[in-house]
Amino acid sequence: MNAHPDSGHSHADGDPVERLVRLAGPQAPIPPERLARLKDAARVAWRAQADARRRRTRIVWVASAFGTAALAVLFILLPSAEPQGPTPTPLVEVATVQHVRGAVARGSTRDTGEDRVLRSGDRLYPGDSVTTSNDGLLAVRLATGVAVRLDRGTRLHVVSTTALTLDAGAIYVISDAMSAEGRSTRDMRGTAAVEIHTALGVVRDVGTRFEIRVDQGALRVRVRDGMVSVNGAPPVSAGMQMTLARDGRSERERVNTYGPDWAWTVALASPFTLEGRSLREFLDWVSAETGLEIRFARASDQQKTSTLMLHGSIEGLSPEQALDAVLPASGVDHAVAGGVLTIRGIAEAVGR
């Protein structure tokens, strides 16, 4: 039941602060001067508290800004954990140009794309293409030691040290090429192999000397020495030629390993240092470059070739020209016929 207002009771009776005020009774009014001092003191205290709050806020802001700047400096100074882009792949040298005749151009994916004239000593890298003109011949040596010669009108792409792509023309591959000192690169570097890719198939070296020609929609492989594999078919052996047409038909026939058909390869013959070399080494070089078979009329003459030392220079001479110049001057009687070089006799005084 609610109390009447005149009864002297109200809802505020429950507030303990108000009850204390009523119990204290009426208070004398505060003098104006004291009230003014109290207000001034309260105003000063409020300002002091406000200034303190502003200082604390400024300190926090400055500290925060300093922390952000420090983190930024630290981020700049510390090495980034993120990669800065792919590391450039170093170029791998595939081949070195040994000999150039006529005009030979190199196209590259690394420059402006324009062809550039090749010169002896130039390097070839993956992605390079080589084009010989109608009068151009080129000899290169792969990093594996394999020698490759390009005929006129040939276009070849360099893939790697063990893979080449022949688009047109002809190349001659020598996996046991002679160095300038007359030593076999196979002996120097171990067995080397190379794959020649064409539109009609892949030719794989099995340790040999062979020519590959792409012409008029056909692939022709002629083997001078050793064997080669074409598309996994039975190997093509020395003295044989395999022709593969676009329709898949293939033919095999016997061919000479010497003569005019190989003349372009002889024009790029590897150099031979004659001074201080044996007659045996010289004859081996001539045989390897010309395809001539070496025979001896007397067994004793074959033994003498290893001890007969040669002197002089054959620089600028072809293998055939060198043969005609060196043998007579060394007291060696010889004859060439039917792809055979016959040593008929070595002067006794010379052979000793």
pLDDT at 157 over 70: yes
**Mean pLDDT score of the chain:** 80
The arithmetic mean of pLDDT across residues 194-210, rounded, is: 92
CA atoms of 259 and 266, how far apart (whole Å): 10
Q: Residue 168 pLDDT > 90, yes or no?
A: yes
> Does the structure show a pLDDT above 60 at 335?
yes
Between residues 12 and 295, the one the model is more confident about: 295
Q: Does the structure show a pLDDT above 90 at 252?
A: yes
Could you tell me which residue, 163 or 183, shows the higher pLDDT? Answer: 163
Length of the chain: 352
What's the rounded mean pLDDT across residues 159-167? 95
pLDDT class of 221 with cuts at 50, 70, 90? very high
Between residues 332 and 193, the one the model is more confident about: 332
Q: Is the pLDDT of residue 8 over 60?
A: no
In this structure, of 16-30, 85-99, 158-172, 205-219, the range with the lowest mean pLDDT score is 16-30
pLDDT at 166: 97
Portion of the chain with pLDDT greater than 90, in percent: 59
Averaged pLDDT, 143-172: 96
What tens digit of pLDDT does each residue of 76-114 get? 444 444 445 555 556 789 999 999 999 999 998 766 555
Total Cβ atoms within 10 A of residue 127: 14
The arithmetic mean of pLDDT across residues 171-177, rounded, is: 86
Whole-number pLDDT of residue 10: 47
Measure Cα distances from 156 to 25, 151, 152, 194, 213 in Å: 119, 11, 12, 14, 11
pTM of the model: 0.70
pLDDT at residue number 60: 44
Q: What whole-number percentage of the chain has pLDDT above 70?
A: 67
pLDDT at res. 13: 52
Higher pLDDT, 300 or 182: 300
The reported pLDDT for the residue numbered 338 is 93
Residue with token string 């420090």: 70
Higher pLDDT, 184 or 201: 201
pLDDT at position 271? 87
In DSSP terms, 163 is beta-bridged to 160, 195
Whether residue 135 is predicted with pLDDT greater than 80 in this model: the reply is: yes
Pairing of strands 209-215, 201-205: unpaired
Give the model confidence (pLDDT) of 34-69 as tens digits.
Answer: 656 656 655 655 566 666 566 555 544 444 444 454
Tens of pLDDT along 260-293?
A: 999 999 999 988 999 999 999 999 999 999 999 9
